[in-house]
Amino acid sequence: MQLGAKLPYFELPGCDDKQHSLVDIADRSCVLVIFICNHCPYVQAYLPRMKSIIDKYYEDNLGVILINSNDVKQQPEDSLENMKRLAAKYGWESLYWYDESQEVAKLFNAKRTPEAYLFNSARELVYHGAIDDSWENVNHVTRIWLEDALEMTLDGIEVDFPETDTVGCTIKWK
C-alpha cells in the first residue's frame, strides 16, 4: 500500500465474537491498523509497547484495529481461540480481528508481523512501518516512529518519517 492510499473497507470477526468493520471506528480522528499474530517473537516483544501506545492514544480519539492473517495450519498458535486468550489478556477483544481468508492482508500488501499502518482523518495512509527501532530491547529504543507519527497525525502535522523498514515474522500464507 502506497502512502496517500485510502483505507479500504473490510469486515472481519473480532475476538469478542462480533463482526466488525470500519464503521466501528468511523468517528475516530485517525486509524491505526497493525498486523500481528500470537506466535511471533517480534510481536510478543512488542505487545507491552503496543498496549501502552493503544492505551495512551485511544483516549485521544485513535481508532485501532489489530489483524491476524496467518494460516493456522502452519501456525496453530494463531487460531481464533488463541487470539481470544491474547485479546482477553490485553483488553483487546473488540480490537483484535481475524482475517482467515487473508484478503485484508492482501489489500494492504502486508508482509510481516508486526506491521503498522496509520491513516489520518481523511483515511489516507500517512505512516507505514515499524513501531520503533529496537524490537529486542525497549531500553535500546532511540526512535519511536509509530508514536511520533501518531502525535503528528493527531495534531494535523505531516509525518516526518512516513515509512520505515518493518522487522518481524513473515505472514504465513495459505
The rounded percent of the chain whose pLDDT value lies above 90 is: 99
CA gap 139, 13 in Å, rounded: 35
pLDDT of residue 162: 98
pLDDT of residue 26: 94
When pLDDT is averaged across residues 140-164 and rounded to a whole number, the result is 96
The DSSP call for residue 60 is T
When pLDDT is averaged across residues 8-29 and rounded to a whole number, the result is 97
Mean pLDDT value across the chain:
97
When pLDDT is averaged across residues 95-107 and rounded to a whole number, the result is 98
| Cα R_g (the chain), whole angstroms | 15
Q: Which three cell numbers, joined as nine digits, stand for 4?
A: 496517500
pLDDT of residue 56: 95
pTM over 0.95: yes
pLDDT of residue 5: 98
Q: Are 104 and 10 in contact (CB under 8 A)?
A: yes
The 10s digit of each residue's pLDDT in 33-72 is 999 999 999 999 999 999 999 999 998 999 999 999 999 9
Domain 29-170 carries which CATH code?
A: 3.40.30.10
pLDDT of residue 157: 93
Q: How many CA atoms lie within 13 A of 71 on its CB side?
A: 7
pLDDT of residue 31: 98
Q: Where are the domains of the chain?
A: 29-170
pLDDT of residue 61: 93
Q: Which three cell numbers, joined as nine digits, stand for 172?
A: 504465513
